[in-house]
Chains A and B, each alone.
Chain A
Amino acid sequence: GAVVSQHPSWVICKSGTSVKIECRSLDFQATTMFWYRQFPKQSLMLMATSNEGSKATYEQGVEKDKFLINHASLTLSTLTVTSAHPEDSSFYICSASDRGQETQYFGPGTRLLVL
């Protein structure tokens, strides 16, 4: 099946710094990618929908200036957590849509810890 990768798999940073997370579709072109966040022992919450070549669509309550999303190519979307704070510590998961297969594939996730 299709593969979606995320990099890094985990990251620890100091409060106030910015962190970039990459999401790549390895063997298909993804015009749409999604970013989810999962707090410990909770479900996944959709943060934003990322479309190649256009601005991301953010869910209600998600700060677009804090969570910058760029979908520069059909195989890469990035999520940048700007001026990270401890409350941003979470598990971030991306997914990519393969429209030809009408299926969404999930990445392995990135665990962010902000100290």
Chain B
Amino acid sequence: AQSVTQLGSHVSVSEGALVLLRCNYSSSVPPYLFWYVQYPNQGLQLLLKYTSAATLVKGINGFEAEFKKSETSFHLTKPSAHMSDAAEYFCAVSEKGDDKIIFGKGTRLHILP
């Protein structure tokens, strides 16, 4: 069975500071990994996905994530936080890119002025 653990239900960073959202996964097969963002009262937007190509994945809005098999991690980073980055972020795992997706509990990112 696959699962995802997101460390920290809330993360606060100052505007302009580094954003780091942690995600660890469990999977018996090579996983597909995703990061989604959800703004209040809206649906999901795909930030980036890992599909066993490059281990460093670049996404939209300046976000990137690195797949580390030895650590079973897929942490999300952004060098400089912007106020518009305040949202809920979900890490997710799937066996295939078009298969059902298992979501983590989410991390609420707060940006401090």
Seen from chain A, the residues whose Cβ lies within 8 Å of a Cβ on chain B are 32, 34, 42-46, 49, 93, 95, 97-99, 101-104, 106-109, 111
Contact = CB atoms under 8 A, between A and B. Distances in A.
Interface string B8-33: 00000000000000000000000000
A108 B42 contact: yes
Given A43-B90, A43-B106, A44-B90, A93 B101 contact: no
A45 B104 CA distance: 10
Contacts of A93: 43-44
Chain B binding surface SS class: loop
B71 interface: no
Contact of B104 (A32, A43, A102, A107): A43
A99 B41 contact: no
Contacts of A49: 100
Interface residue tally on B, bucketed by range: 20 to 34
A93 B41 CA distance: 12
B42 A103 contact: no
Nearest to A48: B100
Given A95-B101, A97-B98, A109-B42, 11 more contacts: A43-B106, A44-B44, A45-B103, A46-B102, A49-B100, A101-B97, A102-B96, A103-B49, A104-B98, A106-B43, A111-B41
Contacts of B46: 106
A109 B43 CA distance: 6
A34 B96 contact: no
A42 B96 contact: no
B78 interface: no
18 contacts: A32-B98, A34-B100, A34-B101, A43-B103, A43-B106, A44-B90, A45-B103, A93-B43, A95-B101, A101-B98, A102-B96, A104-B98, A104-B99, A106-B43, A107-B43, A108-B43, A109-B43, A111-B41
A52 to B, nearest CB: 14
